């Protein structure tokens, strides 16, 4: 699953796909409570089935979005901390050079004092607000040797650069503080949403939990049937494309242009397939590991942490969070999806899985679940947002 609020991404949506289906927990609560509601009117303050349905679904979806915000805030914090460290190191080095330039100027002033030359001018120079203010006076500039003038120029340049870097470091420290605050807020939000959802679901009886398992099994069967349907569709389209390519090749004879185009296309497909195989091999090796929000491995993952790690194993770097990953490649139609493609879910793009073919994917589903293979229709066809080819 997928961390701070950000404007909605501009990723292209698959045609005909819209708002997500309800979360499993919400469906369970609806089924369980509906029978009670139909049997007799509620005589206590227990929420209605519609209220439970909406509340549980909202909590899990809010937790998904908050997890993405947490991931983004964490990434920004790490980057900002590295920048601050680099700036502080630079400031320290510049301060050292500034001190060395100041010492050299001091040696010139001491030499002038010992020889009795221009003592008043030297004292005035050392007490001035800035060296350049004083050296703008042509009478003193004329007395300085080329070496002394070079030392003064170096001092003035280094002083200006050091002040600028100190200011930049101060601003970066402020941004780091803001990133850390965002990180803390997002973490608290995720924990609160998940705790609220667990509290609602803990009210289920043993009988209700058994019926929950039955509902889940039925959903999986329906999703598997949809996946098989997509697999047949993709196989038919692939066969048609191969037949069309063969006919075109036969009709064009030995055309150099056609041959070159076909070769380039084949090379591109082969290159992607090779990388995709590596990404899928990595993902399969993670099956059975727990979903943990904000995790990037190796012992646990959230949804975008898994897809990022899988493609990194194939030598391809993609962003950390779902709403950045959706823009990190070429959007393709669902029927054209190939193994290795990223499948995104829901209007807020809060979930992602790695397509393995035949309507199936590997993903880290949700809290309490484990990395697994599952139909891309696990939450209904309407939950699918888009498919993206990252390499």
Q: Is 276 among the catalytic positions?
A: no
Q: Tokens in use for 187?
A: 């973490």
The DSSP bridge partners found for residue 332 are: 387
Alpha-carbon gap, residue 203 to 223, rounded angstroms: 28
Pure H helices in the chain: 24-39, 49-115, 119-127, 131-135, 138-143, 146-201, 206-252, 256-285, 303-313, 322-325
Closest C-alpha among 304, 299, 295 to residue 286: 299
Catalytic residue among 187, 275, 289, 363, which?
363
Catalytic residue among 21, 32, 303, 354, which?
303
The DSSP bridge partners found for residue 290 are: 370
Q: 346: left (phi > 0), else alpha (psi -120 to 50), else beta? A: left
Asked if residues 97 and 62 have their Cβ atoms less than 8 Å apart, the reply is no
Alpha-carbon gap, residue 85 to 74, rounded angstroms: 17
Task: For residue 367, give Cα distances in angstroms to 9, 25, 64, 170, 291.
Answer: 25, 12, 10, 39, 6
The DSSP bridge partners found for residue 374 are: 361
Alpha-carbon gap, residue 31 to 159, rounded angstroms: 72
Q: Is 226 among the catalytic positions?
A: no
Catalytic residue among 94, 289, 351, 366, which?
351
User: What is the end-to-end Cα distance of the chain in Å, rounded?
Assistant: 22
Alpha-carbon gap, residue 364 to 353, rounded angstroms: 7
| Adjacency order of strands within the sheet including 351-357 | 330-332, 384-389, 342-345, 351-357, 360-363, 372-375
Q: Is 351 among the catalytic positions?
A: yes
Please identify every residue annotated as catalytic. Answer: 303, 351, 363
């Amino acid at each position: 699953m997928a961390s701070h609020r950000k404007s909605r991404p501009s990723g292209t949506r698959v045609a005909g796909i819209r708002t997500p289906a309800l979360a499993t927990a919400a469906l369970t609560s609806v089924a369980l409570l509906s029978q009670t509601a139909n049997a007799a009117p509620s005589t206590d303050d227990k929420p209605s089935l519609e209220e439970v349905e909406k509340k549980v679904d909202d909590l899990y979806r809010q937790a998904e979005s908050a997890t993405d915000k947490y991931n983004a805030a964490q990434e920004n914090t790490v980057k900002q901390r590295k920048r601050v460290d680099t700036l502080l190191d630079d400031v320290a080095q510049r301060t050292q050079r500034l001190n060395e330039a100041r010492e050299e100027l001091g040696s010139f002033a001491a030499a002038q004092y010992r020889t009795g030359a221009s003592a008043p001018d030297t004292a005035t120079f050392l007490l001035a607000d800035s060296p350049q203010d004083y050296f703008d006076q042509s009478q003193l500039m004329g007395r300085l040797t080329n070496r002394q003038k070079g030392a003064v120029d170096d001092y003035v340049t280094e002083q200006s650069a050091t002040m600028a870097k100190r200011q930049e470091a101060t601003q970066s420290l402020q941004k780091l503080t803001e990133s850390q605050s965002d990180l803390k807020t997002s973490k608290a939000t995720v924990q609160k949403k998940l705790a609220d959802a667990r509290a609602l679901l803990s009210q289920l009886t043993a009988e209700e939990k058994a019926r929950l398992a039955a509902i889940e099994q039925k959903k999986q069967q329906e999703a598997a049937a949809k996946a098989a349907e997509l697999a047949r569709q993709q196989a038919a389209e692939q066969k048609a494309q191969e037949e069309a390519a063969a006919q075109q090749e036969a009709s064009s004879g030995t055309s150099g242009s056609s041959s070159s185009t076909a070769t380039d296309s084949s090379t591109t497909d082969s290159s992607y397939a090779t990388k995709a195989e590596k990404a899928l091999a990595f993902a399969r090796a993670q099956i059975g590991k727990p979903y943990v929000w904000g995790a990037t491995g190796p012992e646990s993952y959230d949804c975008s942490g898994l897809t990022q790690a899988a493609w990194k194993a194939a030598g391809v770097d993609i962003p950390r969070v779902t709403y950045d990953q959706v823009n990190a490649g070429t959007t393709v139609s669902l029927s054209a999806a190939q193994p290795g493609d990223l499948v995104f879910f829901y209007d807020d793009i809060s979930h992602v899985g790695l397509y393995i073919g035949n309507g199936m994917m590997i993903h880290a589903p949700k809290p309490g679940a484990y990395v697994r293979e599952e139909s891309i229709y696990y939450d209904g066809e309407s939950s699918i947002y888009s498919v993206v080819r990252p390499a």
